[in-house]
Amino acid sequence: MSTQSASQLLISPSMDEQPESQSRLMRRLHRGNAIATSVLWLITMLVAAVFIAIILNLIWTGLPTLFSVNFYGTGPSGIAPELFNTFYILILTEIFLFPISLGAAIYLAEYAHQGRLTTIIHFAAETLAGVPSLVLGMFGFLVFSSDAHLSISRIAGALTLLCLNFPLALRLFEDALNRVPLDLREGSLALGATRWRTIRTIVLPSALPGLITGLILTAGKIIGEAAALLFTMGLFNPANVFTLDPTLASDTLTTRLYYIKGVGAGATGLNSVQETALAAGISAILIVLLLLINLAARVIGRLVQRKLTAA
Amino acid sequence: MHYSQRARLSDQIARIIFFLCAIFLIVVIVAVIAFISSKAFNVFFEHGGTPLKTFFTIDNWDPTGENDPSGNAVPTFGAFGLILGSVVTTLGAMIIVTPLSLGTAVFFTEMAPKWLVSFLKPLLEIFTGVPSVVIGVLGLTVLVPFLTRLAAPLTGNLPTAGYGWGAAILVLIIMVLPTTLSIAIDALHAVPGSVREASLALGSTRWQMMRKAIIPAAASGLGTAVVLGMARAIGETLAVALVLQGNSLPQKLFSLAALFQPNVNITMVIARDFGETSGIAQDAYWTLAFVLLVISFIFICISRYLASRSVYK
């Protein structure tokens, strides 16, 4: 008897001092607990299995295409222009996005007092984050492409992506700045440095790993975005696609994928088997890019931890 | 200039620049609302437009008049079917996403062993970033053929069977689940450990502790997760567009077969047709965009209200 656990003793019917009804309640509760626990296990395993199956399926079906040489060429089944455009638009967007959202984050984290203005800015950020990317794409078409006469171009696409990713970048950067311990700032200010000098020499260097993580995570969003680019960057490439001209219309990996399988199916100059192989290849390369981005963000995130625990 | 004067000046300039960056965010959202609402009502007032009532009650979306049976290219602007499509797919997806994501979130925060958490967390983070068009193409190449076979007895072997709301709902589940799940996990993590300990110390089983203490304590945060998931679902475009591929609501709307026939929603027609329209036809699409904007704004307001009520943040 001594090896039995307390709960087994409690529900054991042989115990005389336990009334029958109480032990039945115990048994019911433990049965409920066991059922609920196994249901939760099942649900989680189901969700995880679906996630894993999808990622593996995408990589597996795209693998043959990933290893063919034509895939990286400029022909109808090549993605060289789209790969170039994707990284071009990524860098062009970050050139706008990083300084502006970092500036806004610095204002919120370092200057602003908790008050009406910060509430309004946070509300604006949440609202903008909730605007569907398709609607932001239409807004970009109206404002940047039409009203600002940028037409359908990379710069119009980059400005639209700036609006789309501003709230996310702001949140990530604000979190990174808020993780810098307060006493570092106080020490600098007590030594007579101005606020700007404190930010420049103390806060930003300490927050650097967090800022880089934020930069990488927004890069993942930019690479994966398609709906906002449909009307601002178009679905086609000009002949001189490998130039840095920001006024060119161009497609990216994601919009190309949408074109192949959506509006342009049958019009790509490929047969449907080739189209499917190309689509599988683009999907796989997007997933691989995503995995690399995630890995990079994780490695740098670990650096933050080491830095903070060392400080 | 004296050193301290110069320092003070640069301090002021930096402050103003940062302030302008923060204000720029407000400028963007105000511009989005202003520009889209400035275009949204043209279709109701211009010549050849439509009254407000028919826009929302009639199911016949043909702004360019290309499907006009009389051949005179008379446009019709009945968006009822599109709006119904968005509502049905969103609600259908959320009915399945809500228990799945809440169950998984509770498991994740309360029960999962450490090794499992360190495996599931990166998986979730990766999956949150999967581009929607990739999921759409996967739906098109894997899910739709499967549903075609599954629904064959229902639809009488239509070749286009498989596309439609059923496929859209399944694709939306995959798109929305990571968002809802990670917000729900954050909400549960915000409940302090003392609540768990108090409940267990009173003799609760683990399930009683979750059901009677943790979930009520995190209720408003979990509500936020569901509402933000809905906001994501209603605006989801390319994944859904690729598996809908219809032109109007199916014939027999109130049958199971209607889930497996090519169908419509708001985002699909915008993505497919907006770029090729002009004039009054384009104005109709701006009205649709405005409808999407209003719906997502309402969702954001609800989520903010719920978040303001939550005890633990």
Provide the residue-wise pLDDT of chain A in tens; the chain has 311 residues. 344 444 454 554 554 556 778 888 888 888 999 999 999 999 999 999 999 999 999 999 999 988 888 888 888 888 899 999 999 999 999 999 999 999 999 999 988 888 888 999 999 999 999 999 999 999 999 999 888 888 889 999 999 999 999 999 999 999 999 988 889 889 999 998 888 889 988 899 888 888 988 998 899 999 999 999 999 998 888 888 888 888 888 889 999 999 988 877 777 778 888 888 899 999 999 999 999 988 988 888 787 767 666 65
- Residues of chain A found within 8 Å of residue B297, distances taken between Cβ atoms: 127, 130
- Residues of chain B found within 8 Å of residue A106, distances taken between Cβ atoms: 18, 21
A266: left (phi over 0), alpha (psi -120 to 50) or beta: left
Q: Does A259 touch chain B (CB under 8 A)?
A: no
- Residues of chain A found within 8 Å of residue B296, distances taken between Cβ atoms: 130-132, 135
- Residues of chain B found within 8 Å of residue A170, distances taken between Cβ atoms: 25
> Is B207 close to A32, i.e. CB distance below 8 A?
yes
Give residue A9's pLDDT. 47
Q: Does B95 touch chain A (CB under 8 A)?
A: no
Q: Does A128 touch chain B (CB under 8 A)?
A: yes
Pick among B2, B8, B32 to test the A interface (most A CBs inside 10 A): B32
**Is B300 exposed, middle or buried, given 0-12, 13-18 or 19+ CB atoms closer than 10 A?**
buried
Residues B126, B258, single domain; the answer is yes
What backbone phi and psi angles, to 5 degrees, belong to B61? -100, 105
* CATH code for the structural domain at A70-310: 1.10.3720.10
Residue B45 lies in a domain: no
Name the one residue in this structure whose structure tokens are 């499509």: B85
This complex has an ipTM of 0.90
CA-nearest residue of chain A to B208? Answer: A33
Give residue A155's pLDDT. 93
Residue B46 lies in a domain: no
Q: What is the DSSP string of chain A?
A: -TTS-HHHHHH-TT-TTS-HHHHHHHHHHHHHHHHHHHHHHHHHHHHHHHHHHHHHHHHHHHHHHHT-SGGGSSSTT--HHHHHHHHHHHHHHHHHHHHHHHHHHHIIIII--SSHHHHHHHHHHHHHHHS-HHHHHHHHIIIIIIITS--SSHHHHHHHHHHHHHHHHHHHHHHHHHTS-HHHHHHHHHTT--HHHHIIIIIHHHHHHHHHHHHHHHHHHHHH--GGGTTTT-S---TTTTS--TT-----HHHHHHHHHTTTTT-SSS-HHHHHHHHHHHHHHHHHHHHHHHHHHHHHHHHHHHHHHH-
Residues B74, B16, single domain; the answer is no
Residues B31, B126, single domain; the answer is no
Window 62-81 of B, Cβ < 8 Å to A: none
Residues B280, B260, single domain; the answer is yes
Element (H, E) at B62: strand B59-62
Q: Does A127 touch chain B (CB under 8 A)?
A: yes
Chain A: closest CA distance from residue B125 (Å): 8
Give residue A239's pLDDT. 80
Q: Does A120 touch chain B (CB under 8 A)?
A: yes
Give residue A90's pLDDT. 94
Residue B279 lies in a domain: yes
Q: Does A276 touch chain B (CB under 8 A)?
A: yes
Residues B31, B141, single domain; the answer is no
Instruction: Determine how many CB atoms are found less than 10 A away from the CB of residue B63.
Output: 24
Residues B12, B57, single domain; the answer is no
Residues B217, B149, single domain; the answer is yes
Give residue A1's pLDDT. 37
Range of the domain at B241: 51-309
Q: Does B242 touch chain A (CB under 8 A)?
A: yes
Least CB–CB distance from A103: residue in B18, B142, B206? B18
Q: Do residues B254 and B149 make contact, with C-beta atoms less than 8 angstroms apart?
A: no
CA-nearest residue of chain B to A104? Answer: B22
A151: left (phi over 0), alpha (psi -120 to 50) or beta: left
Global confidence as pTM: 0.89
Q: Does A298 touch chain B (CB under 8 A)?
A: yes
Q: Does A177 touch chain B (CB under 8 A)?
A: no
Q: Does A82 touch chain B (CB under 8 A)?
A: no
Residues B160, B244, single domain; the answer is yes
Structural domains in chain B (count): 2
Residue B75 lies in a domain: yes
Residue B57 lies in a domain: yes
Residues B122, B183, single domain; the answer is yes
Residues B19, B133, single domain; the answer is no
Residues B113, B236, single domain; the answer is yes
CA-nearest residue of chain B to A33? Answer: B207
Least CB–CB distance from A111: residue in B18, B123, B293? B18
Residues B204, B290, single domain; the answer is yes
Q: Does A251 touch chain B (CB under 8 A)?
A: no
- pLDDT tens, per residue, chain B with 313 residues: 577 888 888 889 999 999 999 999 999 999 999 999 998 888 888 777 778 888 888 888 888 877 777 777 778 888 888 999 999 999 999 999 999 999 999 999 988 899 999 999 889 988 888 999 999 999 999 999 898 888 877 767 677 778 889 999 999 999 999 999 999 999 999 999 999 999 999 988 889 999 999 999 999 999 999 999 999 999 998 899 999 888 888 877 777 778 888 888 999 999 988 888 888 888 889 999 999 999 999 999 999 999 888 877 7
